[in-house]
Structure 1
Amino acid sequence: MSKTDTAAAPRPRNEFLLLAGNALRFTGKALTSNPTTLVGAIIFVAIVVLAILAPYISPYDPVAQRITIRLQGPSWEHWLGTDYYGRDILSRLLHGARYSLVIGILSITLAVILGSLIGLIAGYFGGRIDIVIMQVMDVVLAFPALILGIILVAVLGASVTNIIIAIAFTAVPAFARIARAPVMTLREREFVQAGYALGFSDLRIMFRHILPNIVPEIIVMASLWMATAVRTEASLAFIGLGIAPPTPTWGGMVREGFENILDSYSVALFPSLAVLVLVLALNLIGDGLRDAIDPKVGTNS
């Protein structure tokens, strides 16, 4: 192999570093330029740290039952009170954060990979390929995310893996659309045409020259859809399609709390606030990232 061929060969590691570098620069710019985005990021990081340290900082076993102290309000012994089975609410919140974060992050990561790949292929090749792919995406988008999630979880069964797959499936069309639009514009740009002239393969042009330029749009969509994923997981658990008890999940805790809300307000209040705070933090991050990519949006809103 000649030196010219070696230089022209794609370098996957360099492509990955380029994508990661673009993502970090864009995220750093958004955090430093928008105070509300920084607040959202701080809250999100704090929740992640608490979830990671849950086994070490939880005051009680999250599934240990003590019927004699059930439905107690906040006290020095149990800061957020106890539920119907006498389990410590604070301990269950800390452990439940793990499931909300894991399901939200993994489902959106899967949706980003699949949706971006589908949108990249559709936008790059165009023609009949684009028409067929986007018509399929339109059919999926016709269903509300929660309804489609309920259908998929009911069919697949309620488990962490199936919930992740169901939520990811509902988000794939959104990422396909957000990736397709800029790809259709970028494929006509001079640097892409230069790649054609130099004989670069379609894969090299797509993943080395086009994909890094759509990373900001994908990051914005991912942050906003992660909030949707958290809400969807909590909603599925609330209607009984979440992870089976006694595993602590925020949606499941809200459901148990509403069944006993007349006896103790804290059982439903604190998990509801936890979902609210996490979704708010993710929305603040998403809004800041959106303003960073298009400042006019923040000015006009």
Structure 2
Amino acid sequence: MSAVPEIRRSAGSKVWRWVRRNKAASLGATIMVIVTLAAILAPWIAPYDPDEQNIILNLGPPTAEHWLGNDTYGRDTLSRIIWGARVSLFVSITSISLAMVIGGAFGVVAGYFGGRTDRIIMASMDVLLSFPSLVMGLLVVAVLGPTMMNLIVAIAFTAIAPFARIARAPTLSIRNREFVEAGRTIGFSDLKIMVRYIIPNIADEVVVLGTLWLATAVRTEASLSFIGLGVRPPTPTWGGMIRDGFENMLDAPWLVIFPSLAILTVMIALNLLGDGLRDATDPRLRHE
């Protein structure tokens, strides 16, 4: 009964070797490692306190002491970008992980049982898919209020439906495979079959979608912060930094440019990594 976990570990090592040989995916992974380490080590590597104000440095341009300049309150832009990475990554990773668990569970249940259960679940998912992710997130945060936890819930809510659909499709083909029938024959419950046999065999597709949706989550978090529905100030967020610098964009363009570049860099890196993982899990492209 341990064959399935061993097969998945072997497949995982092959995927990792493929990603390492894919230059674009390797670049994306490297960038994300650097950004993640910077976020984790922010208290030690940020040159200044992100909330420390110095009115003398109001709208100060980039200098040797403040590499990315200062904002309207004289706060160091580089330090706030580094600390902002913490918020962006934490919100994005937590919300997408939550969506993967909830949406994946819905998809597995719908695909495994089929029939009326499948129709009800997928009809509900189609309703969620009818709303653009940003609009759905905006509605949820507007109702619940602009806090970090509500922001996580809002972004997760927008991503549940895609994960349900991506989990349902392979479940439909796996539920009648020989090893699943063998589990039923020896008396395994439906829950045990789904956990032991279905989920390990669809994990690749769900993880790949999760990597791609992380980029969407970063964009959504920044967009909601930009319109004032993100984490409350003075906590630094990339979208909030862009909003604060928007009014002085002509006089101090660095206040908008550098946070925007941070968002763009992370989104490109996540898409490169996600594309590499998708290619690695596609049997038509993998020759090992």
Name the TM tier (shorter chain): over 0.9
Gaps of 5+ in 2: none
Q: Does 1:279 align with 2:280?
A: no
Aligned ranges 1:126-137 → 2 under 5 Å: 126-137=114-125
Contact 1:23 1:216 in 2 (8 A): no
Evaluate the alpha carbon distance shift between residue 15 and residue 219 of structure 1 in structure 2; reply closer, same or farther with a 3 A threshold: farther
Partner of 2:58: 70
SS in 2 for 1:231: helix
Q: Distance in 2 between matches of 1:236 and 1:22?
A: 40
Q: Write the deviation string for residues 153-193 of structure 1: whole angstroms up to 9, x where unpaired.
A: 00001111000000001000110000000000001212212
Contact 1:107 1:167 in 2 (8 A): yes
Aligned ranges 1:88-99 → 2 under 5 Å: 88-99=76-87
Partner of 2:194: 206
Gaps of 5+ in 1: 1-7, 9-13
SS in 2 for 1:85: coil
Q: Distance in 1 between matches of 2:192 and 2:163?
A: 21
Tell me how far 1:198 sits from its aligned partner: 2.1
Partner of 1:260: 248
SS in 2 for 1:172: helix
Q: Distance in 1 between matches of 2:242 and 2:143?
A: 24
Contact 2:96 2:217 in 1 (8 A): yes
Contact 2:4 2:200 in 1 (8 A): no
Partner of 1:146: 134
Contact 2:208 2:277 in 1 (8 A): yes
Contact 1:236 1:242 in 2 (8 A): yes
Q: Does 1:245 align with 2:237?
A: no
| 1:171 maps to amino acid | A
Tell me how far 1:25 sits from its aligned partner: 2.6
| 2:95 maps to amino acid | S
Q: What fraction of aligned residue pairs are identical, expressed as a percent?
A: 55
| 1:117 maps to amino acid | A
Evaluate the alpha carbon distance shift between residue 195 and residue 290 of structure 1 in structure 2; reply closer, same or farther with a 3 A threshold: same
Tell me how far 1:201 sits from its aligned partner: 1.5
Tell me the TM-score normalised to structure 2 length: 0.94
Aligned ranges 1:12-161 → 2 under 5 Å: 21=9, 24-25=12-13, 27-161=15-149
Q: How many aligned residue pairs are there?
A: 286
Q: Distance in 1 between matches of 2:195 and 2:52?
A: 50
Evaluate the alpha carbon distance shift between residue 288 and residue 203 of structure 1 in structure 2; reply closer, same or farther with a 3 A threshold: same
Partner of 1:215: 203
Evaluate the alpha carbon distance shift between residue 244 and residue 228 of structure 1 in structure 2; reply closer, same or farther with a 3 A threshold: same
Contact 2:95 2:156 in 1 (8 A): yes
SS in 2 for 1:262: coil
Partner of 1:177: 165
| 1:76 maps to amino acid | A
Evaluate the alpha carbon distance shift between residue 83 and residue 77 of structure 1 in structure 2; reply closer, same or farther with a 3 A threshold: same
